[in-house]
């Protein structure tokens, strides 16, 4: 079973994502800020990280850099944000993002993107 780490500071959004992702057949882990995101990543070794950009204790970009430095293989990261700042998309691309989702999002679209990214891992 593929594992997805959700790093999201809004507890309602995190729980909604977790329920949908679990119902789609994936194992999940949750983190609510930057520091715990890195810690949970180290502990759970997920196959993919769904990562909010604006969070307490830093930002998703610094978390992505730390995660990639800790991993022995490239980890697919899908960024999620409520910000409409074009530089966020540019920065996500620079970091090799596997996807970028703007809030509000359609749950079905999130699942389709995650499934597409994870299916590429199997190839």
- For 39-50, how does the pLDDT look when each residue is reduced to its tens digit (9 = 90+)? 999 999 999 999
pLDDT at 123: 67
The 3-class secondary structure across the chain, one letter per residue, is CCEEEEECCCHHHHHHHHHHHHHCCCEEEEECCHHHHHHHHHHHCCCEEEEECEECCEEHHHHHHHHHHHCCCCCCEEEEECCCCHHHHHHHHHCCCCEEEECCCCHHHHHHHHHHHHHHHCC
- For 55-74, how does the pLDDT look when each residue is reduced to its tens digit (9 = 90+)? 988 899 999 999 999 999 99
Instruction: Write down the domain spans for the chain.
Output: 3-121
Question: Does pLDDT of 98 surpass 70?
Answer: yes
User: Would you say domain 3-121 falls under CATH 3.50.50.60?
Assistant: no
């Amino acid at each position: 079973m593929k594992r997805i780490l959700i790093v999201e500071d809004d507890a309602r959004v995190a729980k909604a994502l977790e329920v949908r992702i679990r119902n789609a057949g994936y194992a999940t882990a949750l983190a609510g800020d930057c520091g715990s995101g890195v810690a949970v990543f180290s502990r759970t070794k997920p196959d993919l990280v769904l990562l909010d950009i604006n969070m307490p204790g830093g930002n998703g970009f610094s978390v992505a850099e730390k995660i990639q430095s800790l991993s022995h293989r490239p980890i697919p990261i899908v960024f999620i944000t409520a910000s409409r700042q074009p530089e966020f998309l540019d920065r996500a691309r620079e970091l090799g993002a596997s996807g970028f989702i703007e809030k509000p999002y359609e749950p079905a679209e999130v699942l389709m993107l995650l499934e597409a990214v994870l299916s590429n891992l199997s190839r």
